[in-house]
Amino acid sequence: MAPNDFLDARLDELKQGAFSRRALADFGTQLWRSARASAAARPDLRRELSWVRWLGLAASLVVGAGMVAAGAPVAPALAAPVIWWLVLCAWVSVELGLVRHPITGAPSPAIGPANVMTLYRGWAAAPILVLGLALPRPSVLWVVLSILAGLTDLIDGTVAVRLHHESRLGRLLDPVLDAFFFSATAIGLAHFGLLPAWVAALVVFRYFLPVFGGLALLFVRGRSLPVAHTPWGQRSTFAVSVSLLVTWMSSLLRLPVQVLLALYALTVLTMTLALLSILQRSRDQRSRDQRRGAP
């Protein structure tokens, strides 16, 4: 993804201000003003997001009612999906300026269905987690939400390319919302007694380490980071998806324990290689910055 010159300039100012309270306040103020200006310049995106927000709220209420019917506590069942959806929509509202082609920077025509699929995947983490912690075994609703969210991870990129809706927004949303979805699913399966707790912990670690590490590196370097899938990252996500699916299927079918152990070992291997590839890419980027004289 091409560098974000505006963000790079603000990060440089933040570093020059030694991350003081005033520098942080100025940093937040300028980002907010930029976000508002970007939104004002694209009223079509604001209208599209409004429709997405209201339709998502309606769906969240329906799913919440289904969660209550499945046996989840009323308060978290009704509140969690709605609140989490509003948080995600608020995030997109702030980031409307990123509805641009990731390479050329040209405005993308719409938020588009691909980004909505990605948002659904992240949103599904809330009901999946509530159901996963509240019930003793997977409910039909838990399974449906999980499978549909997993399918979006397979097709959202293809949909974005086919519709010419590739955007920096999608590049930003995808890894963060993957972290929430896969972690929630793994935690639920561990609570059901189907997935070893150590595998669930590794899944959470695999997805959130790059997210928090990327944020830390963003401020340390004072420059925007290139966001792109690595081959091993994609293989790791596929392995995690298959492992979680087969783990759930083991509650319906009698699978040899050796099959599950082999699958978990393969998943751990791909997760390790994915994290190593991210670290290597970070080192390579730092070397390129040093050759160009960047801080």
pLDDT score of 280 more than 90: no
Percentages (nearest 5) of helix, strand, coil residues in the chain = 80, 0, 20
Residue 91, CB half-sphere, CA atoms under 13 Å: how many? 17
Average pLDDT rounded to a whole number, residues 233-260:
90
Report domain extents, the chain.
Answer: 1-41, 42-193, 196-295
Q: Model-level pTM?
A: 0.89
Average pLDDT over residues 251-259: 86
How far are the Cα atoms of 86, 91, 120, 284, 286 from residue 54, in angstroms, in the given order?
A: 9, 15, 13, 43, 43
Dihedral (CA of 81, 84, 86, 88) sign:
negative
Q: What is the pLDDT of residues 150-191, one digit of tens each?
A: 999 999 989 999 998 888 899 889 999 999 999 999 999 999
* Token code pair at residue 74: 């009323």
Highest mean pLDDT among 115-129, 148-162, 219-233, 255-269: 115-129
Q: Provide the mean pLDDT of the chain.
A: 87
Place of tokens 């380490």: 209
pLDDT digits (tens, 9 = 90+) for 76-105: 999 999 999 999 999 999 888 889 888 788
CB contact at 8 A, 114 and 159 = yes
Under 8 Å between Cβ of 99 and 107: yes
Phi-psi group of 135: left, alpha or beta (phi > 0 → left; psi -120 to 50 → alpha; rest → beta): beta
For the cut 90, the answer to whether the pLDDT of residue 39 exceeds it is: no
What CA–CA distance (Å, rounded) separates 135 from 192?
8
> Rg for the chain (alpha carbons), in Å?
20
Confidence grade of residue 1 (pLDDT, cut at 50, 70, 90): low
